[in-house]
Amino acid sequence: MMHRREFLAGAVSLLAPPLAAEAEQAGKVWRIGFLGVSSASDYAPYLEAFRQGLRDLGYEEGRNIRIDYRWAQRRVERLPGLAAELVRLNPDVLVTHGRGVGAAQQATATIPIVIGLHSDPVRLNVVKSFARPGGNTTGVSSQIIDLSAKRLELLKEVIPKLRQVGVLSYQDSSGAREALRDIEVSAKRIGGLRVRSFEMVTEPTGMEAVFATILGDRPDGLIVEADPRMALHNARIVQFSAKNQLPAVYGSRGFVEVGGLMSYAGDFREGWRVAARYVDKILKGAKPADLPIEQPTKFELVINLKTAKALGLTIPQSLLLRADQVIE
């Protein structure tokens, strides 16, 4: 197994680890509201990265911070109500991600909001700019949308005769719709590629219908876009791909960790550790409007060679050399 990872800081330095001495001296217990799109179990790796980031900065739940959690259980229509619940608790800072950011912004214009991850907060009009976000919101961008066209290029490298591409995503997400447009533009540029979009479902009982629709179109390869609601279905999607000899490239490494072929994405865990540093800065008096949005400058390409062999694929050596992790 080969592995290397790098996630560089942006324009503002958030790397110094002060130990929340001010809060301890004053006996202050800071209150954090956490709004999650999926569930605590689905989001466990990223939630733990955020908590560890806070611990590294001297914050401990039950001692000098209290975190109130609200989880939408993959039902995005619940997010506005849950955001309003958290605002009524009057937290010192709200922390959320993805679709939760818009709900938090609708619920409050004054409580600071820290984004744990967002596909592109500037392109989707969540903040004014990366350098000066303005308003009460700052945090971390995953730039998921920008990577979608690159995933198509990677799939083309693995499958030179690629002609039909399926894109599996939640089309109620503006980020997913933007990603699909980027893929379609890239397909036209490459030439000879047909793109078909498949709508993802929230409930497990609907997955067989999704799979049947994909098989009915029989694409040569599949692009699976990242979404917090997808985590519940990772293993089933990977099993579907293997059973039907359908090569897929994914928007998060979680798929590859359960047997998927390949993923290309930012390091989401590191993004959540960075989000903890934003919380620390804000609790120490910084204003969200003045803290630039963090953007990843390094993206992880993870390839599962065992899965490639099972699919009858030969991964080009040039691609293996570019990979950040190769699972053998």
Residues 208 and 137 in one domain: no
pLDDT computed for residue 26 by the predictor? 57
Residues 167 and 304 in one domain: yes
pLDDT computed for residue 143 by the predictor? 82
Residue 295 lies in a domain: no
Q: Which residue segment(s) compose the domain that 198 sits in?
A: 144-265+300-327
Number of domains in the chain: 2
Residues 138 and 149 in one domain: no
Residues 121 and 43 in one domain: yes
Residues 308 and 172 in one domain: yes
Residues 86 and 172 in one domain: no
Render pLDDT for 186-229 as a digit per residue (tens, 0 to 9).
Answer: 999 999 899 999 999 988 899 999 999 999 999 999 999 988 88
Residues 219 and 85 in one domain: no
Mean pLDDT of 300-320: 95
pTM of structure: 0.83
pLDDT computed for residue 17 by the predictor? 46
Residues 261 and 278 in one domain: no
CATH number at residue 150: 3.40.50.2300
pLDDT computed for residue 11 by the predictor? 38
> From CA 75, how far away is CA 55, in angstroms rounded?
30
